Amino acid sequence: MWSHRVRCSGNFLFYEVELAFCGKIHLCAHNLGLGKVTMNELRQQLINKVLSCSGRPLARLSSRLRSISLLNVMLLIVFTITPLKALSMSEENEIKLGAKEHQKIIAQYGIYRDKDLQDYVSMVGQRVAAQSSRPNLEYHFTLLDDEIINAFALPGGYVYVTRGMLTHVNTESELAAILGHEVAHVTEKHGLRNQSKAKLLDLAAQIASAVTGTAGVYDLGGILGGVLLKGYSREFELEADAVGSRYMAKAGYSPDAMLNTIEILKDKDRIEIAHARIEKRTPQVYHGFLSTHPDQDTRYKRAIMESSVLLTDYEQSIEKDDFLTKLDGLRYGPTKQIGVVRKNVFYHKNLGIKLRFPQGWRIESGARGVQAVSAVSDAVLAFSTARLSKKVRGREFFETMGMEIREGKDLTIGGLPAYLGIADRAETPFGRRPARVAAIFNERRRVAYILTGAGAQDLHKIAADRDFIATIFSFDKMDAADRKKAVKPKLEVITVEEGMTMEQLAAASPITNYALDKLRVINGLYPKGQPEVGQMLKIID
Ligand SMILES: [Zn+2]
């Protein structure tokens, strides 16, 4: 049922287990102390270790692995013959570990380039950290340029919050709650405690990468994937809420904010899970709040309320409106995106073109172009460009790409010569099948725009062909009005006027799908709330 591969790197031995149905996992053993052994003996030793150290039967291990591979998370398991004395790790080593991982986090995500906002996040974080049980540790708070909603901490005092998270925060106290929760993960050494158990814990990846120095993005994916998708154990999450709420109370922030924040994140998880179900994909949920906090509400509410007695004089330095004003202009949407997407229209300013994708489809930018996926993920339309070098146009253009075309026609699209047809055996994300293809030729720029549409169920007929054709014919040059519109969406803070409704604001927003739900969630108005006249509200513009 499974195959193995052993790979040596320095003192480390990587053991790759490949299961027929669930992809790969990487196991890493260090300080085996085995002396000279043959690879086969080593392999056997490792198999025994896999089974004994994990302390669980293979059947359970494999069902766990199956779910992991579904999440596309690479899991790294660290085995140590001499257990890592994690809790007794010196502070110096803990800081070194954090500092090293910090570089990788920055390289992967990038810092959000707004010094005032960075300084502000840091100021709130330092205020909370100063009241923690490890006030002398040097803390570093970083706002990351990522639209995913996340906050996490590394050992040694490194705390991160993404701009996607900040979009969902409505008061300084809520921000303090998020940072307090993460500071608590640091002071309670949750990352290190996870490791000392040396079980199937993603966070262990952190140690492995720090020690081997060979860690790549996979390890990082392990850490962040773990934190993002599963979080720590329920116990650690609840402890971080309770401890974090004590820190914030001592810093002068009302611990109720912790409950608000959790509610907002739960709402976000709820809509994400609902949308992912419709779209038949894996939901991206923050800290797994719905799974770590569901039936424990009373317990964590009590823990948080108990910290209220610690509340020091609340310094009303930042009112809600002032806080929201600080978020005005915050980027919204993906960081690395070709062109601009507003609603279902894609604009590319440099090429001076636009394309309207079908309503309700998800639009995703990749390194080589843009693709739109139908609401239930059963059809994909890709848009890319190719350099026009040779004198091949029309049918010949596709033939030189190795495609056989039927029902081909020469025509004009967006004022440019184009060719439309069906390629019978095209390579598509669903495998080899018929695909609707179109190429639009811009001789002056020496570029061809290529559109390819295919469906999961297509054997001969193309089910979503009407949508493909409509999109292909929506291709056009941008005019002056389009140029004004083609700016990346940003968060804007407005004052609500008489008669404004969430429905109207959602209709006017550039958010591609589920604008109403998303706007409500970021303003704490989910599922049915309406804003009050005169209040400040976050919209996307
Ligand atoms: Zn947490």
Q: Which of 43-57, 105-119, 367-381 has the highest mean pLDDT?
A: 105-119
Q: What is the pLDDT of residues 352-373, one digit of tens each?
A: 999 999 999 999 876 678 999 9
Q: How far is the CA of 285 from the centre of ligand 1 (A)?
A: 12
Q: How far is the CA of 476 from the centre of ligand 1 (A)?
A: 47
DSSP string, 248-300: HHHTT--THHHHHHHHHHHHHHHHHHHHHHHHTS----STTHHHHSSTTHHHH
Model confidence band, residue 78 (pLDDT cutoffs 50, 70, 90):
very low
Q: How far is the CA of 269 from the centre of ligand 1 (A)?
A: 15
Q: What pLDDT is attached to residue 405?
A: 95
Q: In sequence order, what are the residues at sequence separation of 6 or more whose Cβ sits closer than 8 angstroms to the Cβ of residue 399?
A: 392, 405
Q: How far is residue 174's CA from residue 457's CA, in Å, rounded to a whole number? A: 46
Q: How far is the CA of 538 from the centre of ligand 1 (A)?
A: 26
Q: How far is the CA of 238 from the centre of ligand 1 (A)?
A: 8
Q: How far is the CA of 276 from the centre of ligand 1 (A)?
A: 23
Q: How far is the CA of 63 from the centre of ligand 1 (A)?
A: 25
Q: Which amino acid is it at 65?
A: L
Model confidence band, residue 302 (pLDDT cutoffs 50, 70, 90):
confident
Q: What pLDDT is attached to residue 183?
A: 96
Q: How far is the CA of 227 from the centre of ligand 1 (A)?
A: 8
Stated as kind and residue range, the H or E segment containing 398 is helix 394-399
The CATH code belonging to domain 344-484 is 3.40.1000.10
Q: How far is the CA of 150 from the centre of ligand 1 (A)?
A: 10
Q: How far is the CA of 186 from the centre of ligand 1 (A)?
A: 10
Q: How far is the CA of 237 from the centre of ligand 1 (A)?
A: 5
Backbone φ/ψ region at 138: left (φ over 0), alpha (ψ -120 to 50), beta: beta
Q: What pLDDT is attached to residue 308?
A: 80
Q: In sequence order, what are the residues at sequence separation of 6 or more whose Cβ sits closer than 8 angstroms to the Cβ of residue 501?
A: 530
Between 298 and 23, the more confident residue is 298
Range in 113-122, 226-235, 524-533 the model is least confident about: 226-235
Q: What pLDDT is attached to residue 43?
A: 46
Is pLDDT above 60 for 66?
A: no
Q: What pLDDT is attached to residue 194?
A: 63
Q: How far is the CA of 93 from the centre of ligand 1 (A)?
A: 22
Q: How far is the CA of 101 from the centre of ligand 1 (A)?
A: 18
The CA-atom distances, in angstroms, between 232 and each of 204, 366, 516, 536 are 11, 31, 31, 35
Q: How far is the CA of 192 from the centre of ligand 1 (A)?
A: 14
Range in 200-204, 218-222, 346-350, 461-465 the model is least confident about: 218-222
Q: In sequence order, what are the residues at sequence separation of 6 or more whose Cβ sits closer than 8 angstroms to the Cβ of residue 391?
A: none
Q: How far is the CA of 202 from the centre of ligand 1 (A)?
A: 14
- pTM (two decimals): 0.76
Q: What is the pLDDT of residues 147-180, one digit of tens each?
A: 888 888 888 999 999 999 999 999 999 999 999 9
Q: How far is the CA of 234 from the centre of ligand 1 (A)?
A: 9
Is pLDDT above 90 for 84?
A: no
Per-residue tokens: 176: 């303090």
Average pLDDT across the chain, whole number: 78
Q: How far is the CA of 240 from the centre of ligand 1 (A)?
A: 6
Between 318 and 59, the more confident residue is 318
What secondary structure, in 3-state letters, does 460-505 show? CCCCCHHHHHHHHHHCEECCHHHHHHCCCCEEEEEECCCCCCHHHH
Between 255 and 505, the more confident residue is 505
Q: What is the pLDDT of residues 477-486, one digit of tens each?
A: 999 999 999 9
DSSP string, 212-244: HS---HHHHHHHHHIIIII-S-HHHHHHHHHHH
Q: How far is the CA of 201 from the centre of ligand 1 (A)?
A: 15
Q: How far is the CA of 172 from the centre of ligand 1 (A)?
A: 19
The CA-atom distances, in angstroms, between 130 and each of 117, 126, 127, 242, 243 are 20, 6, 5, 17, 14
Is pLDDT above 50 for 26?
A: no
Between 176 and 42, the more confident residue is 176
Per-residue tokens: 485: 């519109």
Q: What pLDDT is attached to residue 88?
A: 67
**Percent of the chain residues topping a pLDDT of 70:** 73
Q: How far is the CA of 133 from the centre of ligand 1 (A)?
A: 17
Name the percent of the chain in helix, strand, coil, to the closest 5: 40, 25, 35
Model confidence band, residue 235 (pLDDT cutoffs 50, 70, 90):
confident
Q: How far is the CA of 210 from the centre of ligand 1 (A)?
A: 22
Q: How far is residue 264's CA from residue 247's CA, in Å, rounded to a whole number? A: 21
Q: How far is the CA of 142 from the centre of ligand 1 (A)?
A: 16
Tell me what the mean pLDDT of segment 103-110 comes to: 90
Model confidence band, residue 140 (pLDDT cutoffs 50, 70, 90):
very high
Q: How far is the CA of 419 from the centre of ligand 1 (A)?
A: 53
The CATH code belonging to domain 489-540 is 3.10.350
Q: What pLDDT is attached to residue 157?
A: 96
Q: How far is the CA of 85 from the centre of ligand 1 (A)?
A: 22
How is the chain split into domains, by residue range?
2-70, 103-189+229-323, 344-484, 489-540
Q: How far is the CA of 244 from the centre of ligand 1 (A)?
A: 10
Q: What pLDDT is attached to residue 166?
A: 96
